[in-house]
Amino acid sequence: RSRADTSQPMHAPPPPVVSFAQYTTRDVILYAVGVGCCADIDAEHADADADAGTAAADAAADETQYVYESHIDFGPLPSFPLSLSFTAVPAVASFVPYVAGIRPFPPHTMKHILPSKFIAADSDFDPSSCPILHIAQSLSLHKPIPMPELQDGNIGGDFDQPIGVKLMTTIVSVMPKEIGVFVTTETKYWTATEPATLLFTGVSTALVGGAPKEAILPYRSATMKSKVDAGAVSPKQQDAAPSYEMSFRIKSNQALLYRLSGDYNAIHVDSDLAAMAMGNHNRNGKGEAKTMSRPVLHGLCSLGFAVRGVLKFVRQREAKGDGFEVSYLSCRFVRPVYVGDQIKVLIWDDDANSTMRKGKQKVLRFEVLECTSGKTVIKNGQVGITTTLQVGTAGA
């Protein structure tokens, strides 16, 4: 059939885009600071425990483990791997030196989000002129996140050696709609050394806004199944009161800090560009445009705040800071968060009264609200938790 015939979807799978990313302990710490670790917090709880406020303050102190390399439990936040696609470079050689500089946006992994094979041959549509909005994200952690080996503390000691990760990104769905085209990609993160081990799998959906529906050739991978349906919410989450709430104020320099993890999109710094890019979201109930004079916070930074809230809840209610691993997280981004906003993370625990046994898995659900408007900014959030130690009854 002709490429101009969009009545039938594409069937040939596109080849994966192979990239190479590296990170050091400094990158892990910078990411944690970028999502607000150890900054001031305002905790609010639906829990009836009279000591909940004190427990939240203690939990905030526990975040030192994400920002201080000498902490006994030092390690990365489970959402850290999502930042690697922004620092990845094309895998054109077997060895790529570690580079920690700044490069223009978009990164290598985003430049070909909609390859020409998905655009009708008789169309002059150019996706590079369209805004790209992050719609949904999931991350499965198959192995613990590798950490660089710190060198001894002698004066003049060597830097820690970077960890290398190979990223293989494949388009699994191209769905043209009236507002644009939804492109879903799956990225597999492998160790860069042989034998290669699969570390993580990420699935991301982006909207290429304004793409004409008639110019796009739809595509759906035969093996995709429902992997892009990130965080299918249960009715119970919507009806029941949350098990835990925590509020965060997005500080004026938060987006400036987070961008140092690799996402240098100017809308996170320039208020005017942010207003232009997010125009469809900045409308009041009458459909009239509102003026927003603040930069947009990175969607993955907002997700990082939500993950922090979930981890605080788990420490307080389940394992008291030890004995659990995050195996999965997912969410959908509904509205932008702006610098200066106050957001509230709502968490539901469907098994709050159960005993956590070693090896047991549970799913915590979350949403994020913007406090002034009360509107949802992240929905259908899920975090999968696996306990590695047997602990007492939750909430006891």
Q: What is the pLDDT along the chain (396 residues), one digit of tens a residue?
A: 444 444 455 556 778 889 999 999 999 999 999 999 998 655 444 343 434 444 445 545 679 999 999 999 999 999 999 999 999 988 775 556 777 788 788 787 777 788 889 999 899 998 887 888 899 999 999 999 999 988 766 655 678 889 999 999 999 999 999 999 999 999 999 999 889 999 999 999 999 988 999 999 999 987 765 554 444 555 445 678 999 999 999 999 999 999 999 898 888 888 887 887 776 555 444 444 455 578 999 999 999 999 999 999 988 875 454 578 899 999 999 999 999 999 999 999 977 665 555 667 889 999 999 999 999 999 999 999 987 765 444 333
Q: Which of 19, 110, 86 is nearest to 263 (CA)?
A: 86
Angle at 158 between CA 155 and CA 160, to 5 degrees: 125
CB of 173 closer than 8 Å to CB of 184: yes
Q: Which of 198, 258, 185, 231 is nearest to 329 (CA)?
A: 231
Q: State in Å, rounded, how far the first CA of the chain is from the last one.
A: 65
Number of C-beta neighbours around residue 122 at 10 A: 9
Q: What's the pTM value of the predicted model, to 2 decimals? A: 0.85
Strand partners, 198: 190
CB of 395 closer than 8 Å to CB of 317: yes
